[in-house]
Chain A
Amino acid sequence: MKNFKLDNEPKINSGFKAPDDYFSTLTDIVLQKLPQQETKVIPLYRKKPVWLSAAAIFMILIGGSLFFKLNTTTAQPDSTAIENYLVYQSSISEYDLYQKLDADDIAELEQSIGVSNEAIEDYISTQNNYDIYLTE
């Protein structure tokens, strides 16, 4: 039977060793594996000013679109205004207008104007430049 006493023995080390260049390469290996610094992402809902700005922009967009919608609906010209514009302002000639009329338009015009034969005869007889048609 041996009488081994740990305290009586010279210090016994573990006997473990590392490869010669282990610690010189370890640092670089670990540094390469470290996660990169990431920019902190702050959720939008935590930033009050962003919320307020978003709400303000939303209200402006809604208000603006309503304003333009209302304005455009009231800006429709009536038929008299269109007529006046065509007669006095535009460069459209009578000829251009006649070209756009179809048979239905003419029939409608005859109905609405309601010119009598007598009136036509009176008109022609007083206008000298229609004599040529009458004499033919």
Chain B
Amino acid sequence: MEDEKAFISELLNPATQNAAFRQLMAQYGRPLYSHIRNIVIDHDDTDDVLQNTFIKVFKNLPDFKGESKLFSWMYRIATNEAITFINQRAKKSGITNEEVRQKAVQNLQADTYFEGDALQIQLQQAVATLPEKQQLVFKMKYFEDLKYEEISEIVGTSVGALKASYHHAVKKIEEYINAL
């Protein structure tokens, strides 16, 4: 925690800011990319959201109180940015959020930056049928290997509720794939 405080000071100090921000991006660039990509599905959309996330992190660092870990704070910003992106896309296209996600999954086979086999596509299709919260929990737990405690800090839901949500998600996914 002390190390994190020192690191945040470096991020806020104009003399060390540039190097510290490079370090931050090197450390969190890939995991945040995966997190956002799991939500918005398309690479180019992920790129936009990830850039906005880092810019938002930089702008809001002076207000970061250190009440939560830098890791969970950044994940929270990334999650909000990704969900906001989906909402805006749905509003622009005049369709629901679920339809936006399902459309993105339908486009996966033609996506240059997706190298999944038939089962992976089926799994993505199954996940896209879940309610938003269950999708988020399943992706963070299964694809991103985050601990329940970490997910709890990011989404602000109790560990017990997250476990129940994940259990329901797995059951629905299995039913979906078995019915194909």
Contacts and interface: CB of A to CB of B under 8 A. Distances in A.
Interface of A: 1-7, 9, 12-19, 22-23, 26-27, 29-31, 33-35, 37
Given A34-B58, A37-B14, 13 more contacts: A12-B119, A14-B120, A14-B124, A16-B34, A18-B37, A18-B43, A27-B26, A27-B29, A30-B55, A31-B22, A34-B21, A35-B58, A35-B59
Interface range for B: 35 or more
Interface stretch (B86-94, B108-116, B148-156): B108-116
A30 B54 contact: yes
Contact of A17 (B21, B114, B117, B143): B114
Interface of B: 14, 17-18, 21-22, 25-26, 29-30, 33-34, 37-38, 43, 47, 50-51, 54-55, 58-59, 108, 113-117, 119-121, 123-124, 139, 142-143, 170, 173-174, 177-178, 180
B128 to A, nearest CB: 12
B143 A14 contact: yes
Contacts of B25: 26-27, 30
B129 to A, nearest CB: 15
Given A23-B30, A26-B25, A37-B14, A15 B115 contact: yes
Chain A interface, DSSP helix/strand/loop, else mixed: loop
